[in-house]
Structure 1
């Protein structure tokens, strides 16, 4: 059991670091398409990656209509509404401001879990979430809020609503992940998401799907669908299966930090005192809130 818990922590960290690169890739390609179409093409690539393995992942006990409906709902929440809000926000707001909004996911997950009694909140969890969010605000606050714009508030609302969808998914999907396996639920959820988006994107394109991405744009889409899609969400679902939702999403505060570090390495951006201080607070928040030091003596209940 302890090995699974440690693996789940590593998976959560890996998913968050992978997601940091998705911010850069999304900002790179969003100018060539619209937010909803980007979601469709990204997860179409992910579905194609999962397709050869789906027969092996299919549960031996089969699926009831109710379970299929539940996975479809989860797929729409996490693979349609969340990324659409994320993409649409980054179309309006700078990446730094979007990073601050994205970092509210542990707070929103904490509130949803508390409101529905899905987790027993502790001082350690609350302190960890506040420390991690404080680190993001310190690291990105100046860049995020230095220049105001009337469109920024619209972008903030879209990001917060998208994050709320991810928080609801994180809290309520765990029992389904436990029953059917994280990879199968991820793959089937993405299939439902692509099926829902297909007629919408086809209508927007006049009935013919002919994406006009540049060569670099296609590279970004392929990256978003594979490394930042299939791999990233598989790791996240694996972590969510074995860790409480508030612990799993706490690692997502590494996402914007990873994006900023990537900017330093690839784009020659400068390392600032604010970034270092923010990183220290984020790591401290993860240590405190996830119980890494004390260990996981008790897992969250697998509510039906």
Structure 2
């Protein structure tokens, strides 16, 4: 398997893991607040990285500019992105949040094209739109249902969340390529935890060991390890080898996976809209990611 094909697999695995993280979050969110949940999740991730971080540290060290870039990446991707996403869900239903999440590849494509980081190709644009359409079909009935409340604040926060992910994916790629995805991920998470710590202490959650039920602790440990350190390592490694728009395109698997797991684990109902939406998402990824080209190149290399 060549690196391009492996990167596609890593991006898909990260997105599927993110879908499981949504379900795990639903198990524990009632026992804490969004900021504290993000803090404890990434604290566990940093603990997972701690044994290998010294081995990953560049021999030449880092200058102030490199520290600043990694810190900025950590604040943007591991603090502002999850905080605005969680805050948006306080105003909007989860289905509408799923549609908002699907705007990340669109925003990434726009940011990357506007700043000359990627060329705008018809196949990539078509793939992004197909994947977004799949999410809209799967969640549209619930996402766009009439409501007495206003979704303006939630929609704004969700779009801001997507913009944070888009900017960090586009502009963080050079840092990942220079210093390595594992090292950058680990150090960026450490900066994020450091930035979040004062807020958690003020809330009173950081003064003593948090109190969770057994199920809550299992969910937190899963979110910090498998859906934290491992998931983001896979995503950052994929971003190291794939264009930002291609990597974020796989994120449209996230809400689909969450809904499938909700059916399997939480007794939710399978709908025709989900099946059609899933097919559109898969076709969109196939068209927009260039996966077929990577597979063909890999097969050609073996012959």
Is 1:88 paired with 2:87?
Answer: yes
CA distance in 1, matches of 2:179, 2:270: 44
* Deviation for aligned residue 1:91: 3.4
* Deviation for aligned residue 1:271: 1.7
Alignment of 1:47-66 (within 5 A): 47-66=46-65
What does residue 191 of structure 1 align with? Answer: 190
What does residue 66 of structure 2 align with? Answer: 67
* Deviation for aligned residue 1:9: 0.3
3-state SS of the aligned residue for 1:92? coil
How many equivalent residue pairs? 297
What does residue 152 of structure 2 align with? Answer: 153
Deviation larger for 87-96 or 98-107: 87-96
Alignment of 1:3-82 (within 5 A): 3-82=2-81
Structure 2: gaps (5+ residues): 297-303
Q: Report if the CA contact (8 A) 1:30-1:87 is conserved.
A: no
Q: Report if the CA contact (8 A) 1:46-1:226 is conserved.
A: yes
3-state SS of the aligned residue for 1:150? coil
Q: Report if the CA contact (8 A) 1:76-1:189 is conserved.
A: yes
Q: Report if the CA contact (8 A) 1:125-1:289 is conserved.
A: yes
Is 1:178 paired with 2:194?
Answer: no
Q: Report if the CA contact (8 A) 2:126-2:288 is conserved.
A: yes
Q: Report if the CA contact (8 A) 2:5-2:295 is conserved.
A: no
Q: TM-score, normalised by structure 1?
A: 0.93
CA distance in 1, matches of 2:105, 2:149: 27
What does residue 271 of structure 2 align with? Answer: 272
* Deviation for aligned residue 1:293: 2.1
Alpha-carbon displacement from aligned partner over 1:89-143 (angstroms, at most 9, x marks no partner): 2333322121111111000101111121111111011100000000000001012
Q: Moved runs in structure 1, 4+ residues, more than 4 A?
A: none
Q: TM-score, normalised by structure 2?
A: 0.93
Q: Report if the CA contact (8 A) 1:23-1:95 is conserved.
A: no
CA distance in 2, matches of 1:274, 1:59: 49
Alpha-carbon displacement from aligned partner over 1:175-215 (angstroms, at most 9, x marks no partner): 11111110000000000000111112111218724423222
CA distance in 1, matches of 2:214, 2:264: 23
Instruction: Tell me: CA distance 1:153–1:209, structure 2 relative to 1, closer, same or farther (3 Å).
Output: farther
Instruction: Tell me: CA distance 1:108–1:150, structure 2 relative to 1, closer, same or farther (3 Å).
Output: same
3-state SS of the aligned residue for 2:52? helix
* Deviation for aligned residue 1:149: 4.7
What does residue 101 of structure 1 align with? Answer: 100
Q: Report if the CA contact (8 A) 1:27-1:95 is conserved.
A: no
**Superposition CA RMSD, Å:** 1.8
Q: Report if the CA contact (8 A) 2:170-2:244 is conserved.
A: yes
Alignment of 1:158-173 (within 5 A): 158-173=157-172
Instruction: Tell me: CA distance 1:90–1:25, structure 2 relative to 1, closer, same or farther (3 Å).
Output: farther
What does residue 130 of structure 1 align with? Answer: 129
Instruction: Tell me: CA distance 1:241–1:206, structure 2 relative to 1, closer, same or farther (3 Å).
Output: closer
Structure 1: gaps (5+ residues): 298-304
CA distance in 2, matches of 1:22, 1:93: 19
What does residue 301 of structure 2 align with? Answer: none
